[in-house]
Structure 1
Amino acid sequence: MKILVMRPSPTGEELVKNLNEIGISSFHFSLFDFFPSTSLISLSQKINTLYQSNVILVFSKKSIFYTNLYLKKYNLQWPLHAKYYAIGESTAAFLYKYVKKKLFFLKRKTVKIC
């Protein structure tokens, strides 16, 4: 059996390397990767929306990382009035480093398929 890892780069390749090192045959294929935007429509044009939001839903550590880079560059902070929801405990823990307030996240349930 081989495992297909579809996690974005570079964490996808790192996971495959670790799996292969312990004898679990796996390979990497990502449908998307994250990079800083070079688009003319940038986060700077959407920053007001961030501060007006009551709920902020975060899907990935990369989105947190790049948003935080932008906020830090312009001496801004994450909105404290909003409720934050993260997809996954590790994403919530990563976001907590920057927000320092209670975060909500989905708890994963391990399902064994026979």
Structure 2
Amino acid sequence: MAWVLLVVAGLLEIVWALALKQARGFARLGPALLGITTAVVSFVMLSAALKSLPVGTAYAVWVGIGAAGVALAGILVLGESASPARLGCVALILAGVIGLKLLER
């Protein structure tokens, strides 16, 4: 169950980062509130997952899901660069997340 909480928390990190981008420095209330709300829920879920997962692994997986997800969303939704080097870096992040999960005890 801790891993499910952690993955969902990481996915919510993607949502709040994109919402804050759309909030334009808190100038738009709806996206700002969505960003703040999903950030709080993400932190709560991370905290719950930390009850049974090692902090180093859990935090790295949470950040990795968020970082890779936001980078891919930026490419797919916001038209950001999809250069081979950038995609390779995202693949390295995902490989690290998968590796940490496989090596977790």
Structure 1 or 2: larger strand share? 1
Same fold by TM (over 0.5)? no
